[in-house]
Copies of this chain bind each other. A is one copy, B any other.
């Protein structure tokens, strides 16, 4: 398999769906523990409305605590113009802008339909660049929608084409509710490669129906170089019913290491972090397996 970079998303996607509010101090510790374990790109927070996503209400405070760590390349998730302005002010290195591929989830998630989200991204792109932020557009619900059901690959590619006009530095596909299978991954990635042959691609999978790791392997083999994962495998979308955890950083890193692909991740360190954060937010056991099973027997 080609080399793969893991983006640690536990501080954002991992926490945002959890009912139990995590202290700012623990969020900062989570980011630092990810850095200590070798992760470098970290989705630190989301700049969302605090009443909509209470867990992210301290976005600026968390960023202020971690932004000067020289190891960190910080990512802020933004849903709209106000979010981008906050990410710029907070000193994020990157902004990941969400565009939901299905109108059903788009409206529940951001209050506006897909076309409006695409237009918002296009209006933001130059300003993000001018402020020195690298941009990723993440195509959410690219594999299925909790409200609209099937999301055709042709629909995803249509949204992608409209998004690409504004020149993101990276394009991501997200299986927001964990319904995707490898055949879809291949089909979408092949289409994106035709639209943007040289653009870095990133993928975001949830393991809701146990297809997340198979999808990750399919993505890597199709040429996706960056994968999101969350320590402990915690996470989900507050506005997508039944959404459960991201693929776990420790389990993905194990899979990569045993496949001969260096990920730069310290397996015991990230497994311990995954167990810690899972317990902190109230899991009886982490969705991740490595912390329980242990590494390859030596």
Contacts and interface: CB of A to CB of B under 8 A. Distances in A.
A149 B213 contact: no
Q: How many copies does the complex hold?
A: 2
A210 B296 contact: no
Q: Among the interface residues A209, A214, A244, which one has the most CB atoms of the partner chain B within 10 A? A: A209
B213 A293 contact: no
Interface stretch (A47-55, A73-81, A255-263): A255-263
12 contacts: A149-B296, A150-B296, A177-B297, A179-B296, A179-B297, A183-B258, A209-B251, A209-B293, A210-B213, A210-B254, A214-B216, A217-B217
A13 to B, nearest CB: 17
Given A214-B216, A255-B214, A258-B181, A144 B209 contact: no
Interface stretch (A17-25, A56-64, A282-290): A282-290
Contact of A181 (B244, B255, B294, B298): B255
Contacts of A1: 183
A260 to B, nearest CB: 7
A258 B91 CA distance: 42
A242 interface: yes
Given A210-B289, A213-B214, A248-B210, A242 B294 contact: yes
B293 A208 contact: yes
Q: Closest 6 A-B residue pairs measured CB to CB?
A: A210-B251, A214-B214, A181-B258, A214-B217, A183-B259, A213-B214
